[in-house]
Amino acid sequence: MLFNNMLHFHSGINQLKPMHKRVFRIKCGLFLVGYPISVSTAASYLTFVLSCSTLAYATFSVAEYFLIGINSFFYFLVVWEFEGSKVEVYIKHRQHEHASPSMEDIQK
Tally of structural domains, the chain = 1
- Domain range for 90 is 2-107
Judge if pTM exceeds 0.75: no
Give, as one character, the DSSP assignment of residue 14: G
- In DSSP notation, 30-77 reads HHHHHHHHHHHHHHHHHHHHHH--HHHHHHHHHHHHHHHHHHHHHHHH
**Pair 36, 63: CB distance under 8 Å:** no
Find the length of the chain. Answer: 108
Higher pLDDT among residues 21 and 9, named by residue: 21
Task: Give the DSSP H/E element, type plus range, for residue 107.
Answer: helix 103-107
pLDDT in tens, 67-102: 999 999 988 888 887 777 777 888 887 766 665 666
